[in-house]
A and B are shown apart, each in its own frame.
Chain A
């Protein structure tokens, strides 16, 4: 089954404690990206990757890091989480054509206290 898998689904952590949210896709997609969803703001792009070792900032990259060492994986790293990073996070992947739709993971609900 074609899918994007995120882990964990739920995470509560404390301010400053480094964490990683994993994302993996099994569709051999070139494009992967991370979004955060906040009420009234829709989805805002954090980082995106056009292929292995090619990443770029989205609209809200501050406080986040990513890496793309393998085509299937695109982890999101919060090196020093803060309460304003409490949000619902989605990973997405798509093939390289600009007209292709994105496939989304189930989401990770992160709470930073």
Chain B
């Protein structure tokens, strides 16, 4: 079975500071990993994904994520946070060998303080 853990329900960061939203995963095989963002009253929007290759993945709006196979982690990062980055962030995983759709973490509410 595949699973995702987001250990922090809430992350607060000052505008202009770097941000990190943590994600760890568990799959039986090799993972495909995704980050999505949800703004209030909106659906989920795709940010970035790791399929294979470079461990550092760059995505939309200046976000990036680092895949670490030994630590089974896929943390989301941004060098300089904006107030407009405040939203709910979800990490998701799919086992390469699985026919199922994505398994999501519980979500992390990011608040960027002006």
Contact at A90–B32, with CB atoms within 8 Å?
no
Minimum CB–CB distance for B87 against chain A, Å: 14
* B contact patch SS: loop
CA distance in complex: A94, B94 (Å): 13
Given the interface pairs A42-B105, A101-B46, the reply to whether A48 lies near B100 with Cβ below 8 Å is yes
* A contact patch SS: strand
CA distance in complex: A90, B41 (Å): 12
Contact at B104–A43, with CB atoms within 8 Å?
yes
Given the interface pairs A41-B106, A42-B107, A43-B90, the reply to whether A99 lies near B49 with Cβ below 8 Å is yes
Contact at B32–A99, with CB atoms within 8 Å?
yes
The CB with the most chain B CB atoms within 10 A, among A31, A94, A98, A107, is that of A98
Residues 91-107 of chain B, each 1 if its beta carbon lies under 8 Å from chain A, else 0: 00010101111111111
Chain A 80-113 residues near chain B, CB threshold 8 A = 90, 92, 94, 98-99, 101-107
A33, A40, A41, A104: the one contacting B44 at CB < 8 Å is A104
The interface size of chain B toward A, counting residues with CB under 8 Å, comes to 27
The interface size of chain A toward B, counting residues with CB under 8 Å, comes to 26
A50 part of interface (Cβ distance < 8 Å) = yes
A58 part of interface (Cβ distance < 8 Å) = yes
Residues 34-55 of chain B, each 1 if its beta carbon lies under 8 Å from chain A, else 0: 1010000111111001010000
Residue of B nearest to A40 (CB): B106
B9 part of interface (Cβ distance < 8 Å) = yes
The CB with the most chain B CB atoms within 10 A, among A40, A43, A48, is that of A43
Binding site for A on B (CB under 8 A): 4, 6, 9, 32, 34, 36, 41-46, 49, 51, 90, 94, 96, 98-107
